[in-house]
Amino acid sequence: MAVLPIYLYGTKVLKAKARPVKELNNNVIKLIYDMVETMHVANGMGLAANQVGSLQRVVAIDISEVDETDRKESKQQLKMTSPDLPRKVVLINPEVLDREGSWKMEEGCLSIPEVRGEVERAEKILVRFRDPNFEVKELAADGLLARVMLHEIDHLDGILFTELMDPAERTPIKSDLRKIKEGDVETSYPVINTKEE
Ligand SMILES: [Zn+2]
């Protein structure tokens, strides 16, 4: 396993659309292990392959360390993820088949350090994906799990959470985004900025 550098806001790979994984070969298996390791080292709840410079439709999620009852986690109370749902999941070629309801929550992103913003997303989703054994699965997810899935699946389509924010709320973060683009940001994990891409 290896910790991979995380591509920062402004790099081209974050705006690219990732391609479906055709087969589970050694490269994909290594990518999954490395993504999980990288996500843990960077203290993230989720990571999409674009964020480590790979355009394969792979997402890793781990919300097991999040206390979903902790209101200090965001301005709003977190919507609870149903207890029977997994907290750790790897999604290959995920597709959102259905969306229901909506709620707002403040989000952050390992590719956009120190920036946070409120995003409206569906409350419940139905997702079809292949698991790490390349078997097709369907999962009805809600609460934080659904939100993280939607955030990560957006990454695979080149969409960042800042683009989904209310335009008025985007204005104050513009200077922070410019700083990240210029490489003027400190992180506790290895990164690649626009000058290094
Ligand atoms: Zn992100």
3-state secondary structure of 178: helix
Is the pLDDT reported for residue 72 higher than 60?
Answer: no
Active-site residue, from 152, 169, 182, 186: 152
In sequence order, the β-bridge partners of residue 120 are 104
Rounded CA-CA distance 1/139 in Å is 28
How many CB atoms are located within 10 Å of the residue 159 CB?
16
pLDDT band at residue 71 under the 50/70/90 scheme? low
Q: What are the pLDDT digits (tens) for 97-115?
A: 999 999 999 999 999 999 9
Burial 104-126 (b: 16+ CB within 10 A, else e): ebebbbbbbbebbbbbebbebbb
Q: Is 37 exposed, middle or buried (0-12, 13-18, 19+ CB in 10 A)?
A: middle
Task: Quote the mean pLDDT of the chain.
Answer: 94
Rounded to two decimals, the pTM is 0.95
User: pLDDT tens digits for 126-169?
Assistant: 999 999 999 999 999 999 999 999 999 999 999 999 999 999 99
Task: With beta carbons less than 8 A apart as the criterion, state whether 18 and 56 touch.
Answer: yes
Tell me how far the alpha carbon of residue 151 lies from the centroid of ligand 1, in angstroms. Answer: 6
If you measure from the C-alpha of residue 154 to the centroid of ligand 1, how many angstroms do you get, rounded to a whole number?
A: 8
Query: 135 CA distance to ligand 1 centroid (A)?
Result: 25
Q: CB burial class (10 A; 0-12, 13-18, 19+) of residue 175?
A: exposed
CA of 138 relative to ligand 1 center, distance in Å = 23
**Percent of the chain surpassing pLDDT 90:** 87
Q: Which segments of 121-162 does DSSP mark as H helices, in order? A: 143-156
**Distance from Cα 29 to the centre of ligand 1, integer Å:** 21
Active site residue 152: yes
Cα–Cα distance for residue pair 133/21, rounded to 1 Å = 13
